[in-house]
Structure 1
Amino acid sequence: MIRTMTIEDYEGVYSLWKKIKGFGLRSVDDSREGIERFLKRNPTISVVAEEDGRIVGGILCGHDGRRGCLYHVCVDEGYRRRGIGKAMVVKAMEALNQEEISKVSLIAFTENDVGNAFWNTIGWTERMDLNYYDFVLNKENITAFNEQ
């Protein structure tokens, strides 16, 4: 079942994130408080996939009124290749469409072969015409990568 994510899903989603090899988690943004803040700003467009009574997939989805963005798209390794990821993306994009958002973007780490193959397979276009820049405002927001 694909449904809208709520803060009550945090423990299940965070547990899933911790299982995904190479997944980057930020100490502030991905804390319960950080996710609660994100969901309050974007209450209807993040999604989870639930199966066998547990969360097996999730997408944080937000927008700024102009462009949507997908974050932390993942499916538990034991549930992959069953259409769950694509169904979650469709649900999030339908929710963005309801909010009159016309374009959606995401970032996939270059070493994320599984993720990059997924995005290419479902019709997303890799941009080669721009550079992506970051500026860190909160140096306490450290990214740690899962090594499993």
Structure 2
Amino acid sequence: MDTYQIRTMTIKDYEEVYTLWTTIHGFGMRSLDDSKEGVQRFLQRNPSTSVVAVVKEENKEKIVGAILCGHDGRRGCFYHVCVDEQYRKRGIGKSMAVTCMKELQKEQINKVCLIAFKNNEVGNVFWKSVGWTFREDLNYYDFTLNEENITRFNS
């Protein structure tokens, strides 16, 4: 089994993380929010809560997982949780989530949420298996403020 390290994500990780996102089947990315500028803005607002998982391959580090994690002062949220398909079922996703949750607790955040697309079977099974609660008592709404922020899904 490979050893991996979980560390804080920085904007220097962007290109490698973006490449990882593009390899995940069914992964949805927004044209503006997930641009380098959009991610940089997110990381500046949340400097310690987002993480990457890194393995060493042939004396070179490779990012194999990532979570964008932030909060609004009241509630934390996970965005773009992913692990390279070749590295799944090794505890990486759970370790990243726990690391993010500990960072949120340091900032006195008491609850965290995430959105998983209904057709994301792998993700939905994972979150239920690690103790997250599926909410059936609410409806989720959003409103687009910038029509140029288009979501596209990897095939």
Q: Tell me the TM-score range normalised by the shorter chain.
A: over 0.9
Query: Which residue is equivalent to 1:106?
Result: 114
Superposed displacement of residue 79, structure 1: 0.2
Residue equivalent to 1:25? 29
For residue 15 of structure 1, give the secondary structure of its aligned residue in structure 2: helix
Structure-to-structure mapping, 1:16-95, within 5 angstroms: 16-52=20-56, 53-95=61-103
1:143 is aligned to: 151
- Pairing 1:7–2:11 present: yes
Quick one: distance in 1 between partners of 2:108 and 2:140? 25
Alignment partner of 2:96: what SS?
helix
Deviation at 1:100, TM superposition (A): 0.2
For the residues of structure 1 that align with 2:85 and 2:68, how far apart are their CA atoms? Answer: 18
User: What is the match of residue 121 of structure 1?
Assistant: 129
Q: Distance in 2 between matches of 1:119 and 1:25?
A: 20
Identity of aligned residues (%): 67
- What's the C-alpha RMSD, in Å, of the aligned pairs? 0.3
Gapped regions of structure 2 (runs ≥ 5): none
Separation in 2, partners of 1:27, 1:116: 24
TM-score (norm 1): 0.99
- Taking the aligned partners of 1:91 and 1:36, their CA distance within structure 2 comes to 20
Q: Report the TM-score when normalising by structure 2.
A: 0.94
Query: Residue 60 of structure 1 aligns to which amino acid in structure 2?
Result: L
Give the one of 96, 99, 105 matched to 1:97: 105
